[in-house]
Amino acid sequence: MTNSESRITLTITYIVLAVLLFITLFPIGLMVLNALKPATEVVSNPLALPTVVQWDNFSRAWVDAKFARTLMNSAVLTAMTIFLVCTTGSLTAYVLARKKIKTWKIVTFYLLATTTAPIQLFMFPLYFGFARLGLINNPVAVAFVYTAIYSPFAIMLLRTYFLAVPKELEEAALIDGATHWQVFWRVMLPIVSPGILTVALIIGLYSWNEFLIATTFLQSQDRLTAVVSFFLLSGQYSTDWGEIMAAALIIVLPIVVLFVALQRRFIEGMAGGSVKG
Amino acid sequence: MHRLYVIPTLVINAAIIAIPALLTIMLAFYRWDGISSPVFVGLSNFESLWHDRVFWTALTNNLIWTVIFLTVPIAMGLLAATMMLVARRGSTFFQVVYFLPVIIATAITARIWQGMIYSPITGIFGLLERYGLEVANPLTQVHTALYGIAVVDLWHWWGFLCVIFFAALRQVPQDQVEAARVEGATFFQLMRYVLLPGIKPTIMLMLIMTVIWSFLVFDFVYILTQGGPAYSSEVLSTLAYRSAFYDLAVGKAAAVSVVISMFGLVATFFYIRAQAKEFEE
């Protein structure tokens, strides 16, 4: 926009943006502030600064939410999901980007349709089926569930990266005697690797934060994810909100640091695939 | 034969989504507790839903939810996005901050609002009460519970729309904007005749997705009120979940899921049609 915006327009603009900024940061600020306070000070005034910083909240949260175990569970589950989505998703995205005939359109639309299917439409038979097969509390099985749910999003995003690769590159490789697999593995994948990194970040975020499936399929104490463990800690055992906010901060902090460092990738990726987390 | 590369995706999708979805549709016509063998009951699951007051409350709540989310966050997102366009300076900073609630786990967002804001003991509401301001915890009141939850989801969600709209606004051809400027258009005229029409496809897509998502809402309701008090904030997805896992009425849960999907299906049709245009290139 040109500089013709008047002073008043600009002032109003910044006031609106600042108000929205305050609304966004206020609850986050409350989390950080109260994570540092003993329970009694939280009760007397959630807005007051801590008289003494209660670092002890973090160590108690670490023990009570069994974070040594549950953060590891979350990390393993997230890593497995990222691996499965990126491998199967890039294969499919490659084919969908290169084929123009009708059958492939149907596959594309089918995958789009599954992104909008409610989880409840398939969760109950899946749960009782898994129960019969002994797959409840099995993180590998849950990684496959996440893969099914997040793949369409990943495929649609990766497809645009594959589309951007010039056809001539592939044809040249084929003429030189490369097999289709070599073309995919040696030529295409390195070119679309930025797309794969974006997908890995977003799928990682979704799996790390996921609640409904994790709370249903991973219920035994030693299989809980960090988010579900936090949910249980804050729900039943504890009324110590200093400790609960400390636990929240432990889960949120790595995500926020990663997000701020790589915000462009996150935002472009999520906007590109348009899926609600 | 590299077309076979799609097989892993399709096999996983069929095993996790397609086949269980078909089973759910079948189960909607059976009575089943999840353990013994299912008994065919025809339409009786749907019939009992028809006479179930909680079902109608849940359906109404989903519709109220849809109306709220079709308006408030879309308006907030558009407002902030255009303001960022005017301000220009600092737009990256604003974007990153507005997006923060989107990346925080729903379980954590829910607890922050529950304990730090709404709680009469540890929250801001309690503090206000001690200063003599009569504010009740909205989550514990029959008439306000749903709105109390909606505020939390709004806080979590509007930044996503803002970022999407901002990205779309920046792609409106600059020569159109310049031309309008030369003609002496005010900012509001520019908005109305150039920018908003320019991002209409994005707005439409977000409206369609909002309808779909509004029938899927689960996390915040389940965590904040579990549908209470007295089922006043129940939505279809929590009703289905409770029926299946608490009451072991899997047939009823399946019937509710089918109803959710029917609403989604209409929106999905428009979604795919909107996306299809993009795939024509």
Give residue-wise pLDDT tens across range A85-107: 999 999 999 988 887 667 778 88
User: Closest to B104 (Cβ–Cβ): which among A118, A228, A252?
Assistant: A252
CB contact burial A152-166 (16+ within 10 A = b; e otherwise): bbbbbbbbebbeebe
What's the CATH architecture for A64-273? Orthogonal Bundle (1.10)
User: Closest to B87 (Cβ–Cβ): which among A14, A46, A116?
Assistant: A14
d(CA B105, CA A7): 39
pLDDT confidence band for B274 (50 / 70 / 90): confident
Would you call B162 helix, strand, or coil by DSSP?
A: helix
Residues of B in Cβ contact (< 8 Å) with A13: 83, 86-87
pLDDT surpassing 80 at residue A163: yes
- CATH number of residue B104's parent domain: 1.10.3720.10
Under a CB-based contact definition with an 8 Å cutoff, are residues A153 and B13 in contact?
Answer: no
**Per-residue confidence (pLDDT) for residue A236, from 0 to 100:** 63
Count of domains observed in chain B: 1
Q: Average pLDDT for residues B162-184, to the nearest whole number? A: 86
Residues of B in Cβ contact (< 8 Å) with A91: 5-6, 8-9
**Per-residue confidence (pLDDT) for residue B4, from 0 to 100:** 85
Give residue-wise pLDDT tens across range A49-86: 888 888 999 999 999 999 999 999 999 999 999 999 99
Give the residue with greater pLDDT, A117 vs B64. Answer: B64
**Per-residue confidence (pLDDT) for residue B273, from 0 to 100:** 81
Give residue-wise pLDDT tens across range A185-240: 888 899 999 999 999 999 999 999 999 999 999 999 999 999 999 999 987 656 78
Percent of chain A with pLDDT over 90: 57
Give the residue with greater pLDDT, B107 vs A115. Answer: B107
Positive or negative torsion for Cα A213, A216, A220, A221: positive
User: What domain range is B227 assigned to?
Assistant: 2-279
Size of interface A-B (CB pairs under 8 A): 281
Give residue-wise pLDDT tens across range B28-57: 999 998 888 889 998 999 999 999 999 999
pLDDT surpassing 60 at residue B1: no
Which residues make Cβ contacts (< 8 Å) with residue B40, sequence separation at least 6? B29, B30
**How long a stretch of residues is chain B?**
281
Residue A43 sits at the chain B interface (C-beta within 8 Å):
yes
- The ipTM of this complex is 0.91
Residue A101 sits at the chain B interface (C-beta within 8 Å):
no
Nearest chain A CA: its distance from B90 CA (Å) = 10
pLDDT confidence band for B205 (50 / 70 / 90): confident
User: Closest to A21 (Cβ–Cβ): which among B9, B97, B155?
Assistant: B97
Lowest mean pLDDT among A123-132, A250-259, B188-197, B250-259: B188-197
Residue A178 sits at the chain B interface (C-beta within 8 Å):
no
Query: What is the residue extent of each domain of chain A?
Result: 64-273
**Per-residue confidence (pLDDT) for residue B189, from 0 to 100:** 85
Long-range contacts, B90-95 (Cβ 8 Å, 24+)? B90/A17, B91/B166, B92/A263, B94/A17, B94/A20, B94/A21, B95/A263, B95/A267, B95/B162, B95/B163, B95/B166
Residues of A in Cβ contact (< 8 Å) with B81: none
Residues of B in Cβ contact (< 8 Å) with A24: 97-98, 100-101, 155, 159
Lowest mean pLDDT among A144-148, A253-257, B118-122: B118-122
Residues of A in Cβ contact (< 8 Å) with B117: 27, 30
